[in-house]
Each structure stands twice: as structure tokens, then as C-alpha cells.
């Protein structure tokens, strides 16, 4: 039975992850995407390291654990966070959130096509629903003079990389505490992002508006900080159906929050695509009577 404290924590983390999408879009008005990711993730990783170290978590990897950090960090952190921020730069933030959270469907599809997992009616329904959502959003982007269909490609690449990373996590024997693994994957990604940003983007002026500084603080300490701490504190005891509902709600919050934060008004294609993706997530994540442990993504 889920407790009142877990409900409040779940609502908080869903709102944090949902509102992060328009907050990212807002930040890109004054800072280029790779520098934005590098800056916020560096601050978030540093803070998480201190918090978990003070809690007594073993933070230093040993021996082969460094290889695990690299193997899991490349798709889960570097791939997802780099491709997704480039997608957000091109697309409306709510639309990017909808596409990013097609990840659970990619996960089960890869498992079915390449790993011998059983094809079910629910997986088929999910694939069709996601195909409809992507088709709708592509048609709108191509059909408008200011459309950016390349952004859709970036977001689906991000979702695919996140899915691959999720599968690797499930198939890897992890001896390092998950909290430490997450922090070191972030550190690895930060090093790569700073390098890519210095090479590919102009050096920022670092003179931002007040709201922009607020957005950076949100990205560093809310998205990468508090949300991670809350998630690790509750993920192990959360019922599968409840966590699935939280995942389904993130693109909804992102789409609705974008109207207030960055003034993006969804089109009818966005609403229909959002319903399709939420239905697909429900199909692959919500448990059936015979399956109480559905595939769950790791953020």
C-alpha cells in the first residue's frame, strides 16, 4: 500500500521532471545547449556527491566498476542528455517531452526484436500508438514554414539511446551503489560535454538575467539534485503501476507547463500525440494480473 508520504514524493518528482522541459527551453534563450548541459550537470553531480558521501554511501568505484560506469554512462547519460537538449533546442519543449518519453516503447521493442523477448498484443498496441504520435508530429513540423523535423530525429535518437542504456542496466551486474553509479556517470558526461561545448560552441558571456539564473539553479539542484534524491529514496518500495503512472504524467506536465513558462501553445497534433504516447506507456509499463513487475525505465 502506498503511503501518504510516497504520494507526496511522487507528485513532487513528477512535477520536477515535467516542468524541467520548459525550463530547459527557457534557458536556451541565453545559453547554448551544450554549455547549459555541462554547467547544470556539473553543479548537480557535485552536490549529489557531497550529499551521498555525507550519508555514508560508498562513492569511489573499485576495479571493474569503472568499466561499468563507462559502459552504462555512455548511452544513459551522455547519449540521452546530449541528444535530448539538441532536440529541445529545435522543438517546442512539450513536444520534445512527448517524444523523449517514447523510451519505454523502444525498450520493449528492442527486447522483442533482438533479445528474444515475447511479442505481445500490448507491445503491438504500444508500437502502433507511438508510430501515430511520431507521424502526427512529423507532419506538423514538415507542414509549417518554421518547422524543425530534425528536432524529432534528435529526440527519438535520445529515446533510443536511453532505451539501450536501460537494457544494459538490467543485464549488467552492478556492485557499485546505484547512487554512486549515477554520480560517476554524470561526472563522465560532464567531462565530455565541456569538451564538446568548448570545441563546438562559442564561449558564453556568463551575463544572464535573473530568471535565467533561476532556471540554471532549477536545472542543477532540482532536476539533477532533489529529484534524484527523492527517486532513490522511494524507487525500491514504489509499486510498479504507481511509478508507471508517474512516468506517463511527465510529458503531460511538460506540455501544459510550457504554456506558462515559455508561452508555447500546443496544437491539436500535440494533444493527440500525447494521448498516444501515454497510452503506449500504459501498455508496456502497467502490470497485468500475471505480470506484476513490468519493464520500468531508469532515469
Looking at every residue in the chain, the average pLDDT score rounds to 89
Q: Which of 73, 76, 66, 41 is nearest to 190 (CA)?
A: 41
* Model confidence at 299: pLDDT above 50: no
* Model confidence at 237: pLDDT above 70: no
Question: What is the reported pLDDT for 10?
Answer: 84
Question: What is the reported pLDDT for 293?
Answer: 45
Question: What is the reported pLDDT for 240?
Answer: 62
**Cα-based distances in Å from 33 to 68, 85, 86, 287:** 27, 6, 7, 37
Q: How many CA atoms lie within 13 A of 196 on its CB side?
A: 20
Question: Which of 52-66, 81-95, 152-166, 241-255 is least confident?
Answer: 241-255
Q: For 169-204, write each residue's pLDDT tens digit.
A: 989 999 999 999 999 999 999 999 999 999 999 999
Res. 141 pLDDT band, cuts 50 70 90: confident
Res. 288 pLDDT band, cuts 50 70 90: low
Amino acid at each position: 500500500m502506498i503511503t501518504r508520504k510516497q504520494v507526496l514524493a511522487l507528485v513532487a518528482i513528477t512535477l520536477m521532471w515535467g516542468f524541467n522541459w520548459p525550463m530547459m527551453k527557457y534557458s536556451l534563450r541565453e545559453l547554448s545547449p551544450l554549455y547549459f548541459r555541462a554547467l547544470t550537470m556539473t553543479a548537480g553531480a557535485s552536490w549529489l556527491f557531497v550529499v551521498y558521501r555525507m550519508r555514508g554511501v560508498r562513492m569511489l568505484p573499485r576495479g571493474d566498476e569503472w568499466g561499468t560506469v563507462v559502459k552504462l554512462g555512455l548511452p544513459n547519460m551522455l547519449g540521452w542528455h546530449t541528444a535530448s537538449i539538441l532536440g529541445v533546442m529545435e522543438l517546442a519543449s512539450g513536444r520534445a517531452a512527448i517524444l523523449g518519453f517514447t523510451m519505454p516503447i523502444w525498450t520493449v521493442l528492442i527486447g522483442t526484436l533482438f533479445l528474444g523477448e515475447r511479442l505481445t498484443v500490448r507491445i503491438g498496441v504500444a508500437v502502433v500508438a507511438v508510430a501515430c504520435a511520431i507521424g502526427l508530429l512529423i507532419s506538423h513540423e514538415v507542414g509549417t514554414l518554421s518547422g524543425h523535423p530534425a528536432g524529432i530525429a534528435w529526440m527519438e535518437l535520445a529515446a533510443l539511446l536511453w532505451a539501450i542504456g536501460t537494457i544494459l542496466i538490467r543485464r549488467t551486474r552492478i556492485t557499485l551503489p546505484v547512487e554512486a553509479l549515477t554520480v560517476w556517470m554524470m561526472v563522465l558526461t560532464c567531462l565530455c560535454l565541456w569538451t564538446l561545448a568548448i570545441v563546438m560552441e562559442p564561449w558564453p558571456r556568463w551575463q544572464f538575467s535573473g530568471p535565467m539564473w533561476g532556471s540554471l539553479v532549477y536545472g542543477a539542484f532540482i532536476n539533477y539534485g532533489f529529484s534524484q534524491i527523492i527517486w532513490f529514496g522511494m524507487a525500491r518500495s514504489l509499486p510498479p503501476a504507481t511509478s508507471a503512472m508517474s512516468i506517463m504524467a511527465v510529458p503531460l506536465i511538460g506540455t501544459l507547463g510550457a504554456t506558462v513558462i515559455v508561452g508555447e501553445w500546443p496544437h491539436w497534433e500535440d494533444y493527440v500525440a500525447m494521448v498516444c504516447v501515454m497510452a503506449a506507456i500504459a501498455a508496456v509499463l502497467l502490470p497485468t494480473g500475471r505480470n506484476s513487475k513490468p519493464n520500468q525505465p531508469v532515469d
